[in-house]
Amino acid sequence: MANLHIKARKSPYSDTRDIPRFPVPDEKVPWSVDWSDYKPTEYTSPIVLKNPPWADDCDAKKIEKFNQVDGQVDRTSYTGSYEVDRETNRPKNPQGRTGLSGRGLLGRWGPNHAGDPLVTRWAKDQHNDKQKVLEIVLIRRKDTGESALPGGMVDAGEHVSVAIKREFIEEAMNSNADGAQLIDELFKTATSVYKGYIDDPRNTDNAWMESEAMNMHDETGELTKYLKLEAGDDAAKVKWVRLDRDHRLYASHEKLIQAVVKKLGAYEYWHGDASATKLN
């Protein structure tokens, strides 16, 4: 995922109609490229400006521990040490310019950590002419209408593995405790498949999404046979989806899924049918 971010330069800004990003051509994305005419749009959502518990102070100069664990808040980045502007004390997006400064919809200056669960099993109906096809649990997001992994933000002081499990229960099971034992067994299979920057439409020059993605694979199908899926608060729908075609998912989620497909030696659908699907 070292490619130039694309969704982080999409205009208008996420969840708005009248907040355009300053256009950033590919060659101007890196901070190392001098660009005196760069004038990013300044925007931080009114929700974030109300300073909820999950958000930093509006003044970045009050934060002294960027690139460190600051009390309960982890300000380190999976990408390594990031630059902090000397004048504003604002962190600089390690992937480069986005056309928008401030924090947008994100609470933290700098990295905002998330966890993404990739719960997979082998599809029941296989095709003889293909490698084995995987199924994965996906939700349809209420905010964008896009299909996505049922993940979410890591709370302050929370371990990412705990956050991933919590988010799956909240978003894919609507916090139903009936399947708790099944989930406990399933999550014992967890393996990390990615840690790093996420090309997210909420990203700005000074705040960005990072995630650790973990794969919980049910090899025999027994652990998920009786798993009851029910959409949570942030999801409009949840279901098992066959990975036999492209899905054009939210943010970098398609890349995360492709990593799991390769890890498990499953059918690499992106080389086949190029049509896209959505959760109906």
User: Whose CA is closest to 28, among 44, 16, 40, 18?
Assistant: 40
Phi and psi at 93, nearest 5°, equal -50, 120
Tens-digit pLDDT string for the chain (280 aa): 457 899 999 999 999 999 999 999 999 999 999 999 999 999 999 999 999 999 999 999 999 999 999 999 999 999 999 999 999 999 999 999 999 999 999 999 999 999 999 999 999 876 655 679 999 999 998 888 889 999 999 999 999 999 999 999 999 998 876 777 788 999 999 999 999 999 999 999 999 999 999 999 999 999 999 889 999 888 889 999 999 887 788 888 999 999 999 999 999 988 865 444 455 4
Cβ atoms 197, 95 nearer than 8 A:
yes
Strands 147-148 and 152-153: unpaired
**Residue showing tokens 């609470």:** 107
Instruction: Give the helix ranges, DSSP H, for the chain.
Output: 46-49, 160-172, 180-187, 253-264
Q: CA triplet 104, 109, 114: central angle to 5 degrees? A: 80
Please indicate, yes or no, whether the overall pTM of this predicted structure exceeds 0.75: yes
User: What is the rounded distance in angstroms from the CA atom of residue 229 to the CA atom of residue 173?
Assistant: 5
113-264 belongs to CATH 3.30.70.20: no
**Residue showing tokens 């959760």:** 279
Query: Which burial class, exposed, middle or buried, applies to 19 when counting CB atoms under 10 A from its CB (0-12, 13-18, 19+)?
Result: middle
The residues with which 42 forms a beta bridge, in sequence order, are 101
